[in-house]
Structure 1
Amino acid sequence: MVLVLLLSVMGLLNSFGSDMLLPALPQIGSNLSASPWETQQVVSLFFLTCALMSLWHGALADAWGRRRVIIGALLVLMLAALASAYCSDIRQLWILRAIQGMAAAAGMVVSRAIVRDRHDGLAVQHLLSRISLLQTIAFVLVPILGASITVAWGWRALFLTFAGICLVIIVIYWRWLPETLSGARRQPLRPMALVRSYLGVLGSASFMRLTAAHVANWVSMVAYVVAAPVLVMRHLGLDATHIYLVFGPLALGMVFGFWLFARIAGRHGPEGTLMLAYGILGVGTLLNVGLAMALPPGLIHFLPLFVYAIGMYIAVPLLLGLGLEPMGNRAGVASSCQMFLQHGTSALVAGLLVPLLCDSLAHLALGVACLTAAGTISLLWERQAIRHAVTAPA
C-alpha cells in the first residue's frame, strides 16, 4: 500500500501543475495585465513541454535510475514554482511554466517504469487500477484546493504551496522510495537510436489510428477541464470555489467507468466493450449539444460530463492496450509516444481551441462533438483495416 501511495503522488505531478492552477487563471490575467489568450498559454505551455519531455524521461530513467530522475525533476519543479510566485510579467511566467511542464512529465513515466520493474502480468493491471483510483479522487480535490487557496490568499500563494508540496515529496521519496532499477539493468543513453525507435512506432498506421481515437476522447474532456473557470465564473456567475461542479461529474464518471469496465470486458470482449463505450460517448455528446443549444447556462449542463466520462474511461484501457499490443519490445517507446501525442494535443486544445470556443456553451459543446466524431472515425477506420486484412487473399 505504501508503494501505491508513493506512485499515486508521483503520477499526480501533472495534476498539481495544471489542475490546481486552473481556478487562478482569471486572477493571474488581471494581476499581470494579460489578455485571456496570453493567460491561457500558462496552461498550454505546461502541456506542450510535458509532451516533449515525456519522450525522454523514460530513457533518462533507464540510464540513470528511477530515484535520481524523479527526485531531480521534483527539485526543478520546486524551484520553478517558487520563482513563479514572484513573477511580475506574464512572459516570465510562460518560461517558468514551460520548465515546470518539462519536469512534471517525469511523474507518470517514472511511476509506470517502477510498476514494470516490481511486477508483471495481472499484478501490473491491479496495481495500476489502484493507482488510477487514487488519482481520480485527487482529480477532484486538487482544483478545489487550488480554488480555496486562490480565494483566500491569491494566485502567488498557489505557487508557494506547490513548491512546499514538492519539498515534502522530495523528503518522503529520499527516505522511502526504493531504487527499482539496479546498475546492471541500466541502459546507456543513445539519443539517435531512441529517435529511430520513436519514428518506427509513429509509422505504424494501426498504432496511430487507435491512439488518435484515445487522444480525441481525452482532449474532449481536457477542453472542459481547461474551460472550467470560465464555465463556473463567467457563465454561472459563481466564485472559483465552485469549480468542483465541473470536476465532480467528470471524476464520478471516471470511477463508474473503471468499475463498469472491470465487469463487462471479460464478457463482451474488446469489440463489444468498445461498442458500448462509444454508445455511451455518443449519448453524452448528443445530450451535451442538445442542452447547450436549448437551455441557458445552469447546473444541468454538467450532467453530460458524467455520462461522457463513463464512456471515455471504459474505452481508455482498450484503446491504449490495443495500440501497445503489437509493439513487442517497443512497448515502452510506444507508451511514451502515446503520452507525447496526448499531452501535445492537450496543449493545442488548451491554447487554441478553448479560448475560441468558451465564450458560448453551445460553441464549446459543438467543438467537443467534432473532436469525438474525429476519434470515432479513426476507430472505424482501424476496424475496417482489420477486416480488410483478414479477408484479403494470402
Structure 2
Amino acid sequence: MLITQTAARPGQRARLALILGSLSAFGALTIDMYLPAMPGMADELHTGALPVQLTLTVFVVGLAVGQVIVGPLSDAWGRRRPLLAGMALYVAGSLWCALAPTVGWLLAGRVLQSLGAAAGTVLARAVVRDLFEGIAMTRFFSSLMVVNGVAPIVAPVIGGQLLTFTTWRAVFVVLAAVGATLLVAVVFTLPESLPPPRRTPAHPRGTLRTFRTLGADQRYLRHVAAAALMFAAVFAYISGSSFVLQDAYGLSAQQFSVVFGLNGLGIVMFGQVNGLLVGRVADEHRLLRISLTVAVLGSAGVLACGLFGLPLPLLLCCLFPLVSMLGIVLANATSLALAGHASAAGAASSLQGLLQFLVGSLAAAAMSLSGHVTTTAMGATMVVCATAALAVLVVRRPRPAAR
C-alpha cells in the first residue's frame, strides 16, 4: 500500500505530521531527556563531566553516520523496511543503556541507539519529499516543527521529574518504551511512500555517483550548510546548557528542565509562524536570512553575558531567540535543499543529516576542549556557528566572467 498526495486531506495530513514529526524528533528526544541527569550520571558511574558529555558526542556521530547508510538504502528498498529495522535497533540500544554498569558500556549502548534513531530522522524528511513539493513541502516541514519543538519541551521535563524519585537509568527505559510505541505505530499506520518505479538500484558506485552529484550542487550545499551550522549553534546550547545553567547559575534539574522547555516552545511557535508567512508574506530565502540574523544577535548576547558576568535573566533573553530561530531555519533550508532531488531524496536527506550532526558534534567538542563548559565558551561557539550560517547563505561565489 502506498501513500500519495491524498495525504493533503486534513485528517490524514495531521496523522502523517504526528508520526513523521515524532520520528524526526527522535534525535532531540534522546538527547534532551537525559540532559538533566548528566551531572548525576558522572557521580554514579565514578567519572568526570567530559566522559559523560562524550556519550552525547558519540550519539550525535552515530546519528550522522547511520543516516548516510540508511538514506541511500531507502532509495533502493523503499522507506518502510529500513525504518522498521532502525526502530527495533533503537529499542534494543535504549535497554542496553539502561543496564550499562560503566561509562564504557553506556557509550556502546549509545552507538546502537544512535544508529536506530538515524532511520527515523533521515526517513521522515525523505517521506515528506516523496509526498510534497514547493511551498506545500515547506509548510509541511513547518508543521513538523510542532512535534520537533514539543520534544525539547517535554523531554527534559520528564527527565527532570524522573530524577526526583528514581535514577538516570529510568530515562532510558522510558526512551525504549517510546521507541516501541512508535515502532507499533509505523507497522500499522505508515504505509510505503516510495513506489517501486521510483526506486534506484542499490549499488556502491551508484551511491557514490549520487553523492558526487549532490556535492556539485551549489544550491543544495549552501542550504544544507546553513542548516548544519545553525543546528551546531543550537547544539552548543543543548550540550553545554546543563552545566552552564546548573553549575554556573545554580539551577536545579527541575528548574533547568523548565528553562529548556520554554526555549523548545519557541521552536514550536516560530515553526508555525513560518508556515503562515511562507508563500504569503515572504519566500523561504528571505525568511532564512531574517531568522539567521536574529540568531547571530542572540548568540552575541550570550557571549556578552559570559564575558561580562551578566545575570541569568539577560542570558535567558538571549538564548530564547537563538534557539527559537531553529524552527524557521530548518523548515526552509531543508525544503530548499531537497527541492531539486526528488529521485534521490533519501541520499540528499542523509547527507544533510551527516553534515548537520557532524558539525554539531564538532562544535560541542570544541566548546569543551578545556574540560569545563563555561558561558563564554558556549557563547563563542554559538557566535561562530550562527555567523558562519548567515555568511554561507548570503555570500555566493562570483560567476566566471563571460569571454
Same fold (TM over 0.5): yes
Distance 1:71 1:270 in 2: 33
Distance 2:228 2:385 in 1: 9
1:17-56, Cα deviation, whole Å (9 max, x unpaired) = 2111212221222111222211111111111011011112
Contact 2:299 2:322 in 1 (8 A): yes
Q: Normalization by structure 1: what TM-score?
A: 0.88
Once the 2 structures are TM-superposed, how far is the Cα of residue 255 of structure 1 from its aligned partner?
3.2
- For 2:181, the aligned partner's letter is V
**Residue equivalent to 1:306:** 320
- What secondary structure sits across from 1:85 in the alignment? helix
Of residues 28, 32, 35 in structure 2, which corresponds to 1:22? 35
Contact 2:42 2:48 in 1 (8 A): yes
**Residue equivalent to 2:387:** 373
**Residue equivalent to 1:7:** 20
Once the 2 structures are TM-superposed, how far is the Cα of residue 201 of structure 1 from its aligned partner?
1.8
Residues 1:196 and 2:209 are matched in the alignment? yes
Distance 2:363 2:170 in 1: 27
- For 1:40, the aligned partner's letter is Q
Contact 2:153 2:262 in 1 (8 A): no
Contact 1:284 1:305 in 2 (8 A): yes
Once the 2 structures are TM-superposed, how far is the Cα of residue 368 of structure 1 from its aligned partner?
1.6
Q: Normalization by structure 2: what TM-score?
A: 0.86
- What secondary structure sits across from 2:101 in the alignment? coil
Contact 2:75 2:344 in 1 (8 A): no
**Residue equivalent to 1:113:** 126
- What secondary structure sits across from 1:348 in the alignment? helix
User: Cα–Cα, structure 1 residues 365 and 269, in superposed 2: closer, same or farther, change >3 Å?
Assistant: same
Once the 2 structures are TM-superposed, how far is the Cα of residue 266 of structure 1 from its aligned partner?
4.3
Residues 1:255 and 2:260 are matched in the alignment? no
User: Cα–Cα, structure 1 residues 357 and 245, in superposed 2: closer, same or farther, change >3 Å?
Assistant: farther
Once the 2 structures are TM-superposed, how far is the Cα of residue 276 of structure 1 from its aligned partner?
2.6
Contact 1:11 1:108 in 2 (8 A): yes
- For 1:59, the aligned partner's letter is P
- What secondary structure sits across from 2:95 in the alignment? helix
Greater shift, 146-155 or 321-330, is seen at 321-330
- For 1:91, the aligned partner's letter is G
Distance 2:226 2:135 in 1: 25
Once the 2 structures are TM-superposed, how far is the Cα of residue 204 of structure 1 from its aligned partner?
4.0
**Residue equivalent to 2:10:** none
Greater shift, 116-125 or 39-48, is seen at 116-125
Aligned Cα root-mean-square deviation (Å): 2.7
Residues 1:139 and 2:152 are matched in the alignment? yes
Counting only pairs closer than 5 Å after superposition, residues 141-290 of structure 1 correspond to structure 2 as 141-183=154-196, 185-261=198-274, 262-263=276-277, 266-269=280-283, 272-290=286-304
**Residue equivalent to 1:129:** 142
Distance 1:157 1:138 in 2: 18
Distance 2:215 2:37 in 1: 36
**Residue equivalent to 1:335:** 349
Once the 2 structures are TM-superposed, how far is the Cα of residue 82 of structure 1 from its aligned partner?
1.1
Contact 1:86 1:156 in 2 (8 A): yes
Contact 1:235 1:297 in 2 (8 A): no
How many equivalent residue pairs?
389
User: Cα–Cα, structure 1 residues 169 and 271, in superposed 2: closer, same or farther, change >3 Å?
Assistant: closer
User: Cα–Cα, structure 1 residues 79 and 319, in superposed 2: closer, same or farther, change >3 Å?
Assistant: closer
- For 2:382, the aligned partner's letter is V
**Residue equivalent to 2:86:** 73
Structure with more of its chain in helix, by fraction:
1
User: Cα–Cα, structure 1 residues 248 and 63, in superposed 2: closer, same or farther, change >3 Å?
Assistant: same
Contact 2:246 2:253 in 1 (8 A): yes
- What secondary structure sits across from 1:237 in the alignment? coil
Greater shift, 13-22 or 261-270, is seen at 261-270
Once the 2 structures are TM-superposed, how far is the Cα of residue 243 of structure 1 from its aligned partner?
2.2
Distance 2:168 2:329 in 1: 36
Once the 2 structures are TM-superposed, how far is the Cα of residue 342 of structure 1 from its aligned partner?
0.2
Distance 2:325 2:174 in 1: 34
Distance 1:370 1:314 in 2: 19
**Residue equivalent to 1:349:** 363
Distance 1:206 1:175 in 2: 37
Contact 2:138 2:331 in 1 (8 A): no
1:286-338, Cα deviation, whole Å (9 max, x unpaired) = 32222333335523311111122344444434434444455574554333211
1:364-393, Cα deviation, whole Å (9 max, x unpaired) = 2123212223333333432xx2xx32x833
Q: Which runs of 5+ in 2 are unaligned?
A: 1-13
User: Cα–Cα, structure 1 residues 361 and 121, in superposed 2: closer, same or farther, change >3 Å?
Assistant: closer
**Residue equivalent to 1:393:** 402
Contact 1:289 1:366 in 2 (8 A): yes
Distance 1:328 1:185 in 2: 9
- For 1:89, the aligned partner's letter is T
User: Cα–Cα, structure 1 residues 167 and 35, in superposed 2: closer, same or farther, change >3 Å?
Assistant: same
Greater shift, 67-76 or 198-207, is seen at 198-207
- What secondary structure sits across from 1:151 in the alignment? coil
- What secondary structure sits across from 2:80 in the alignment? helix
Contact 2:157 2:258 in 1 (8 A): no
